[in-house]
Structure 1
Amino acid sequence: MSYGNQGDGGYGSQPPGGGYGQQPPSGGGYGQQPPSGGGGYGQQPPSGGGYGGGYGQQPPSGGGGYGQQPPSGGGYGQQPPSGGGYGGGYGQQPPAGGNPPDNHLVAAILTTLFCCLPLGIVSIVKSSQVNSKWQVGDFQGAALASEEAKTWWKRSLIAGIIWWVLVILFYVVVFVLLAASVPSSSY
């Protein structure tokens, strides 16, 4: 194996003591266990202690490596064995009944128009997420979005009721004050 000139060195010359990937005469190297018993990159040291092993093997304690899922479960693309997590996972069968939860879109639109615009908009956004999450298979996410949509349209309704009560009270007070300030004329 030759890398350019075999002269006194330079960029293309072969290093003294062997080529790349070969075992140097003193022992040790990247692919083999050195004779002294120290750790190499491709093998587990004979002492077996801790994470001092090579890059290609799992540590003896059984912890997760770069190419394997951790023993606790739940990696990218897999549902944890306990069934936890935020959603039901994509591609699962729908729960019994097969219909998506109520998205509360009509109530969200009505409370947006007649009660409180900012809270109603949040309700519309949440209600629009229900069907899209259901279609991709996130059944728990769809149920959560449905509950949040219901919560936000109720908040919008309460805020709207409080607003309209305050507006009516304001007009009643203004009318009473104007009626009291007008002098009554008698002939």
Structure 2
Amino acid sequence: MTYGNQGDGGYGSQPPGGGYGQQPPSGGGGYGQQPPSGGGYGGYGQQPPSGGGYGEQPPSGGGYGGYGQQPPSGGGYGGGYGQQPPGGGGYGGQQPPDNHLVPAILTTLFCCLPLGIVSIVKSSQVNQKWQVGDYQGAVQASEEAKTWWKRSIIFGAIGWGLLVLFYVVVFVLLAASMPSTSY
């Protein structure tokens, strides 16, 4: 069995009776060409004579079921890959509620870490619940995320205010306890 023979069979001749991507012995093989209707579908790559298979493309024009064919823009939204339905999708054409992720992250970094973490967890649940169809749960998670990042701002502001007040009191007490020097 030789693979270097470039006879009539395309990319090297195959033994009769099967093989990977067998080309018909009569006719100069090519991409997507299938063997004539000669019994069985035993070999890898051999396709039935009635059409179908990977090498053959469906006729252009009919339907949206073809390989790589896209529906015309403006048509229905049932068959196109990645095509969004009109109105933005979601529940009744609505957009998903705001997940408040940016304020949750900022308040976690700059205000109150524990409450900010709760806010981040709640904000990450918004999109997850929306995608599985739990629309009321997504709205509730959005409201809870907003509540937690606002609480984080409030507690952070109180904490920073107490810290500044503490330093001012310590500075005043230290300044009062220092002996004054008068010359």
Output the TM-score relative to the length of structure 2. 0.50
Identity %: 79
Structure 1 residue 181 corresponds to structure 2 residue 177: yes
- 1:2-35 Cα shifts (integer Å, max 9, x gaps): xxxxxxxxxxxxxxxxxxxxxxxxxxxxxxxxxx
Measure, in 1, the Cα distance between the counterparts of 2:154 and 2:99: 19
Could you report, residue by residue, the CA deviation over 1:42-83 in whole angstroms, capped at 9, with x for unpaired residues?
A: xxxxxxxxxxxxxxxxxxxxxxxxxxxxxxxxxxxxxxxxxx
Give distance in 2, aligned partners of 1:157 and 1:169.
Answer: 18
CA distance in 2, matches of 1:186, 1:134: 73
Residues 98-157 of structure 1, C-alpha deviations (whole Å, 9 max, x = no match): 211000000000110111111000000000000111111111110000000000001111
Counterpart in the other structure of 1:136: 132
SS at match of 1:101: coil
Distance 2:93 2:112 in 1: 34
Q: What is the aligned-residue RMSD (CA, Å)?
A: 1.3
Partner of 1:171: 167
Q: Name the counterpart of 2:97.
A: 101
Secondary structure of residue in 2 paired with 1:99 = coil
CA distance in 2, matches of 1:142, 1:107: 17
SS in 1 for 2:91: coil
What is the rounded CA distance, in whole Å, between the counterparts of 2:155 and 2:182 in structure 1?
46
Q: Which residue does the alignment assign to 1:39?
A: none
Are 1:111 and 2:107 matched, yes or no?
yes
Number of aligned residue pairs: give it. Answer: 95
- List alignment gaps of at least 5 residues for structure 1: 1-92
Aligned equivalents of 1:181, 1:109: Cα separation in 2:
43
Compute the displacement of 1:184 (Å): 1.1
Residue 122 of structure 1 aligns with which residue?
118
Distance apart, 1:95 and its partner CA: 3.2
With normalisation by structure 1, the TM-score equals 0.49
